[in-house]
Structure 1
Amino acid sequence: MTEKTGSYKDLLVWEQAMDLAVAVYGATKSWPKEELYGLTSQVRRSATSVPANIAEGYGREIRGSYLQFLRIAQGSLKELETQLLIAERIGIAPKATSHVRSPSSAGYSGRGPAVSSYQERPGEIGDW
């Protein structure tokens, strides 16, 4: 295996996932205080899981492990989307949060940020 170049911080998908996490934190600041340890916490954990899994996978020595972490990040996106839909349905999140909910609005494809970025721009993950 050839050695990786650069850092996970150089990955466009990691930068976009970080932006998503920050946007989620901003959107949930106005949620009811009684949800702080409920849905608010779950949404924030899901959002921060995306860039964290991309970074953790990048640090793995085996390409297959990295791809597995990218799939986990993709799952976290689906979890986040579902939680935001629940928040909309129960009335704590306005429809305006749909810009946060939709990965495509942040430049992601419908298949999830990590896996699609790898498939479309393989040089972005390093020279493996």
Structure 2
Amino acid sequence: MAKFRFQDLIIWQEAIVIGEKLFDIADILERKKLYRFSEQLRGAGMSISNNIAEGSGSTSKKEFIQFLNITKRSTYENANILILLNKRKIIGNEELNTLLEELDI
């Protein structure tokens, strides 16, 4: 099986873990017919690992940093969505705090 450079990056490995958790929340949102929230969370969640993976294929450090900046913005977007979901009582305080800590990593 082929192995890509990004698979060895700890930041990508962490992004995949948090991405799976965000997908789980998106699935719950879909069951509640909150499709827009679900779509937004799923897209922003995928953006984190996608940009790390895409940037790892860059030929320059500067270009890779640009992709990491996009990743950082997607992380902030996810944090914002989760805070809003918490305020709407869709996720609890403990889950919010855990996810925000993981996003901060």
Name segments (4+ residues, structure 1) moved above 3 Å: none
CA distance in 1, matches of 2:95, 2:28: 12
Structure having the larger proportion of residues in helix: 2
CA distance in 1, matches of 2:39, 2:51: 18
The runs of 5 or more residues in structure 1 that have no matched partner are 1-5, 109-128
CA distance in 1, matches of 2:79, 2:94: 14
TM-score between the two structures when normalised by the length of structure 2:
0.84
CA distance in 1, matches of 2:25, 2:94: 9
Larger Rg computed on CA atoms? 1
Further displaced range: 95-104 or 52-61 = 95-104
Q: Which residue of 2 aligns with 1:89?
A: 87
Percent of residue pairs identical? 22
CA distance in 2, matches of 1:25, 1:100: 12
TM-score between the two structures when normalised by the length of structure 1:
0.70
Structure number with higher relative contact order (C-alpha < 8 Å, ≥ 6 residues apart): 1
Q: Which residue of 1 aligns with 2:6?
A: 8
Tell me if the contact between 1:57 and 1:67 (Cα under 8 Å) persists in the aligned partners: yes
CA distance in 2, matches of 1:26, 1:96: 16
Q: Which residue of 1 aligns with 2:32?
A: 33
